[in-house]
Amino acid sequence: MAAEDDDLPVDLVATAGPLDPVIVTLRDVLHRSGALRVAAVVDLGAAGASDPDAAAVVDVGRLLPVEVQVGDRKVHLPHALELDARPLGHVDVRQLPPFEVDPSSGEVVGTIGGLQHLGEAARELVALLGGRSVALLQVPTTTPDLPLTLTARIGEPVLVAIGEEEFELPEPGAG
């Protein structure tokens, strides 16, 4: 979330209404992947909102309240709260050991195929969200203050960020 959004009042709620399936999906991906954080900018216009540019930010962090922001309204839900919603679908993802990363060279060392696996999971997640949505997975590395972040948008390459450095993840099957 942006720093200017930190001044918004935060309400504690037991549901985010039509965004509950998104929360259930992100929380499932977080728990099965071992990610530090899974977040999405959800294209509400694709879901039939009256404003075609409307978006919601849903942020699910490890052991943190779920944060949802739509416009100027920000709400928190308890992380473990049982919601009366089903996930949008299944994302094939599993937990991997932390990656070793070098931000200056973009080198990522870990389980063979691990980075591609997480990139594919990010692609699957954003496909479930639809429209112009964006999905973000932040996973731990062997350097605790330097997480690895994967960001996906439909029709675009997955971006991998290590600290401030960004790299495009090659498409599956690309040389």
pLDDT at 34 over 60: yes
Domain that includes residue 68, residue range: 3-168
Number of domains in the chain: 1
The answer to the question of residue 174 being in a domain is no
The answer to the question of residue 99 being in a domain is yes
Chain segment 70-116, per-residue pLDDT in tens: 999 999 999 999 999 999 999 999 999 999 999 888 899 999 999 99
Distance of CA 93 to the CA centre of its chain: 13
> How far is it, in rounded angstroms, from Cα 159 to Cα 143?
20
The answer to the question of residue 173 being in a domain is no
Give every CB contact of residue 21 below 8 A, 6+ residues apart in sequence: 85, 86, 87, 88
What is the DSSP secondary-structure string of 152-175? EETTSPPEEEETTEEEEPPPTT--
Chain segment 118-152, per-residue pLDDT in tens: 999 999 999 999 999 999 999 999 998 999 999 99
Give every CB contact of residue 162 below 8 A, 6+ residues apart in sequence: 101, 102, 103, 106, 108, 141, 146, 148, 149
The answer to the question of residue 42 being in a domain is yes
> Cβ distance 135 to 152 under 8 Å?
yes
Share of the chain above pLDDT 70, in %: 92
> How far is it, in rounded angstroms, from Cα 131 to Cα 153?
9
- The pTM is what? 0.91
pLDDT at 46 over 60: yes
In this prediction, residue 42 has a pLDDT band, given cuts at 50, 70 and 90, of very high
Per-residue pLDDT, 1: 45
